Amino acid sequence: MPEQPIPEQDPVVTKSYALHYVLAMVILMATLFWALWDEGYGQRPWKAFQNEWKQRYTAFLDKTRPKSESEVKNVQSSPEYQQLNQVYQQADAAAKPRKEELQKHIADLSAQILAVQNVFTDRRAYVNALTYKMETDTSASSKESKRKDIAEYKQKVTAVEFPDGHKEKFNYPQLEEKYNDLKDERTKLNAELGDVLKPVTAASTIIAIGNP
């Protein structure tokens, strides 16, 4: 195909579009500033009212705060409040030893779970990948081969280093059982901790109701 001749009045060569670009840029900038103004103020006429309300309400709170603080002190010095607070302090003191023991045990279990999880997660992912390959394989002999590979891998022993520095060795079923047992034990301790804290929570709630 023969090359087309370049016209004598080629607009790309003979004309400048700088003015057009400047005008387009000015229009775009004006549109941007108008949109920002409209978004911030034009569509939100309540902003002035909101600012005025904030100033007035702040002034109101500054005036009423001394009175409120005085009322709170009066409530806290009343015999009823002192009695409720004493009940709370007694409940908290009674629950404190077992609460701290349970919290420490739960923290230790969480650290052990993390140690086991770091190993178990990788092994479980590998087992799941092998299982998926086995299930999607169309060859019966290949399925059987992969099934044996999974069984052999699950019997492979892996060491887990616990937070106190000691190590224990587990195959896959033992590792899974250890992981689940630790989580179950932590769940039971959390439930027991909730029971231990019930009297403290109840006493605290009563104080909060009596001291709004």
Report if residue 171 sits inside a domain.
yes
List CB contacts of 126: < 8 A, sequence separation 6 or more: 153
Backbone angles phi, psi at 39, to 5 degrees: -70, -40
Tens-digit pLDDT profile for residues 74-112:
767 788 878 888 888 899 999 999 999 999 999 999 999
Domain contains 140: yes
Residue (of 78, 106, 100) closest to 200 by Cα position: 100
11 within some domain: no
Tally of domains in the chain: 1
Please, are residues 137 and 149 in contact by the beta-carbon 8 Å criterion?
no
Establish if 139 belongs to a structural domain.
yes
Model confidence over 134-177: pLDDT tens digits? 999 889 999 999 999 999 999 999 999 999 999 999 999 999 99
